[in-house]
């Protein structure tokens, strides 16, 4: 069991825990929505995704965003997951990222969606 993200207390007042599947999802979310330079001891950690979503909707931006997401996940979680596909859709109110990946340890294929409200 791992510490749940974001950090919070459970119903007993103890540090909330997450199973391995939830923890892996939490790690992916952290990579996606952390801006490089945001973490003091890991200045290159993250994807920079939130900076790109404000660019105009063009095919070039969509392709670059997809490659950015895939390469960031591969760089930071490549020992745990193999990314098969990643799509990013930006609407007026929120950003939706869909990641298709395979867990390296079990070879289980998973599909996860992550949403973030636009500031």
For the ranges 56-60, 80-84, 95-99, 110-114, which has the lowest average pLDDT?
A: 56-60
Q: Which domains does the chain have, with CATH numbers?
A: 2-117 (3.10.450.40)
DSSP class of residue 9 equals B
Task: Give the confidence band of 57 by pLDDT, cuts at 50, 70, 90.
Answer: low
Tens digit of each residue's pLDDT (9 = 90 or more) over 5-50: 767 788 888 887 888 888 899 999 999 989 998 989 999 999 888 7
pTM summary value:
0.81
Are 36 and 30 within 8 A, CB to CB? no
pLDDT given for residue 52 in this prediction? 67
* pLDDT for residue 114 is more than 60: yes
Q: Are 63 and 44 in contact (CB under 8 A)?
A: no
pLDDT computed for residue 56 by the predictor? 54
53: its two tokens: 């979503």
Q: Is the CA virtual torsion 4, 7, 11, 13 positive or negative?
A: positive
């Amino acid at each position: 069991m791992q510490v749940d993200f974001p950090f919070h207390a459970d119903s007993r007042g103890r540090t909330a825990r997450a199973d391995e599947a939830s923890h892996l999802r939490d790690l992916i979310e952290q990579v996606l929505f952390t801006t490089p330079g945001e973490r003091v001891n890991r200045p290159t950690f993250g994807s920079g995704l939130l900076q790109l979503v404000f660019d105009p909707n063009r095919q070039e931006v969509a392709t670059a965003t997809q490659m950015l997401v895939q390469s960031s996940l591969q760089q930071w979680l490549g020992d745990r997951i193999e990314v098969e596909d990643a799509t990013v859709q930006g609407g007026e109110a929120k950003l939706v990222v869909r990641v298709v990946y395979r867990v390296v340890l079990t070879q289980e294929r998973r599909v996860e969606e992550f949403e973030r409200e636009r500031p």
